[in-house]
Structure 1
Amino acid sequence: MSTSAVEITLLGRTYSIACPKGREDNLRSVAREVEAQLTNLKTRTNSLSREELAIMAALNIGNELFEEKQKNKHYMAQMDERISLLQSTLENSLIERSRKDD
């Protein structure tokens, strides 16, 4: 897959990032979210260095990702339960129907 360079700006610094073709808008959207996190942290804690801000933002974003993964696991477990119940209901209905046909 070919790549293109996308320029993003975080805390006033511009970075040129290699990105797979067709995914540039995704990268720009992520960069805007990261910039929002960094800006928010910077306004709340003026004493942090760029490195510390980046670490805090990474931890915040990582936590959000972890929570979403947990929600997804819970949702998948619920769907598995519902599918099993549906399969069981269908199987029972088919068994009842075959008994009535006999």
Structure 2
Amino acid sequence: MNATRQLDIVIMGREFRVACPADEEETLKQAVALLEAKMLEIRGGGKVVGIEKIAIMAALNLAHEYLHVQAGGFDIGAYQRKITAMNSAIDAVLQDQTALF
């Protein structure tokens, strides 16, 4: 039997306590990070004001992306943007590492 744990999470500066099966903790953390990133992206666009509206728009965007992929669609542009962002982050970290040697 898988025990359920209570976890404290933070999304856009607000704390929430959620129940989570112990073996799903890492997946929950990934979901929190994805939601946080999507909400910050929406807030950064400056067109949506208010945490509740931002949360609803983020939920709609994520649901749309999920349904698109589930239906067999594949948004290569979104994945390319994510890969580019990850490469930039890796390059920045590696640049800091070269100073150590």
TM-score by length of 2: 0.66
Return the index of the structure with the highest Cα Rg.
1
Paired position in structure 1 for 2:86: none
Distance 1:46 1:4 in 2: 37
Q: Is the 8 A contact 2:4 2:20 kept in 1?
A: yes
Equivalent positions of 1:50-89 (< 5 A) are 50-71=51-72
- Return 5+ residue gaps in structure 2 as ranges: 74-101
* RMSD over aligned Cα atoms: 1.5
What does residue 38 of structure 2 align with? Answer: 37
Give the deviation of 1:2 after TM superposition: 2.3
Matched residue count: 72
Q: Which runs of 4+ in 1 moved over 6 A?
A: none
Task: State the AA in 1 paired with 2:42.
Answer: L
Structure 1 length-normalised TM: 0.65
Q: Tell me the percent identity.
A: 28
CA drift of 1:47 comes to: 4.9
Please give the alpha-carbon distance, in whole angstroms, between the structure 1 residues aligned to 2:31 and 2:48: 25
2:39 and 2:47 map into 1 onto residues whose CA distance is: 11
Distance 1:26 1:6 in 2: 12
Q: Are the structure 2 counterparts of residues 13 and 63 from structure 1 closer, same or farther at C-alpha, using a change threshold of 3 Å?
A: same
SS at match of 2:43: helix
Answer 1 or 2: which has greater helix percent.
1
